[in-house]
Structure 1
Amino acid sequence: MTDQRDEALEERRKRLGAALKDVRRDAGREAADERKAEANRKGFAEAMKLSSEFVAAVIVGGALGYFLDRFAGTGPWGLIILLLLGFCAGVLNVMRAAGLVARPDPGDRKDR
């Protein structure tokens, strides 16, 4: 009787060990998938931040140029110039946010 019981316990232990091995493998795979998804979300958030900074700078430049032309009567020149300035400001903001251009150091100013 104890022999059958020992064999049944050993069989059950083997089945539980195999099931536990499968669960651990699946948990490792899920953790790897979650790390990959987290990296993708961070990249998407960074892309959205950079693109919104660029678009906002261009829109603000264009709007200021339009209103300058509208109220000062300068023709399309205010729109053209301020739209180009907005584009340049947007590119500079994106490069600063991406870390390609350093921010100016306040200690480097010459007027002190």
Structure 2
Amino acid sequence: MDNREDGLEERRKRLSAQLADRKAGDAVEAKREAQSEESRKGMALGFKISSEFISAVAVGAILGYGLDYYAGTSPWGMIILLLLGFCAGVLNVLRSVGKVAEPPPLRKKGSGDGAGH
């Protein structure tokens, strides 16, 4: 009977060691997954910021080209609206990273707080 108790105790020790190894492996895997999640979030933010900037510049260029084409103001419409698109792109980037606050919402006339403001 004593030999059987020793066998059970030995199996419990092996099982405890295997469980400890598995928990350590799970902790390493969880840490790796957390790092990879942060990397994906950073890449998504980078793509978002770059696409906002590029689209603002592209819209400015297209509107400037259209203005020059129909109004015959070549190249001034393209230059001015391209610069305005660049400024809008920079402002969008700064808003995305939190360096510039969003503008406050505009209130309609007559929808004040009753004090006439």
Say whether the fold is shared (TM-score over 0.5): yes
Distance 1:106 1:62 in 2: 28
Paired AA for residue 63 in structure 2 = L
Gap runs ≥5 in structure 1: none
Runs of 4+ aligned structure 1 residues displaced above 3 Å come to none
| CA apart distance, 1:59 | 0.4
Equivalences for residues 56-71 of structure 1 within 5 A: 56-71=55-70
Query: Is the counterpart of residue 44 in structure 1 residue 55 in structure 2?
Result: no
Deviation string 1:26-59 (CA, Å, 9 cap, x unpaired) is 0111111111111111111111111111000000
Q: Normalising to structure 1: TM-score of the pair?
A: 0.89
Aligned length: 108
Indicate the residue corresponding to 2:82 in structure 1.
83
Query: Counterparts in 2 of 1:1-112, with a 5 A limit?
Result: 2-106=1-105
- Structure that is richer in helix per residue: 1
Pairwise CA RMSD: 1.6
Counterpart CA distance in 1 for 2:16 and 2:37 is: 31
- Identity of counterpart residues, as a percentage? 58
3-state SS in 2 of match to 1:49? helix
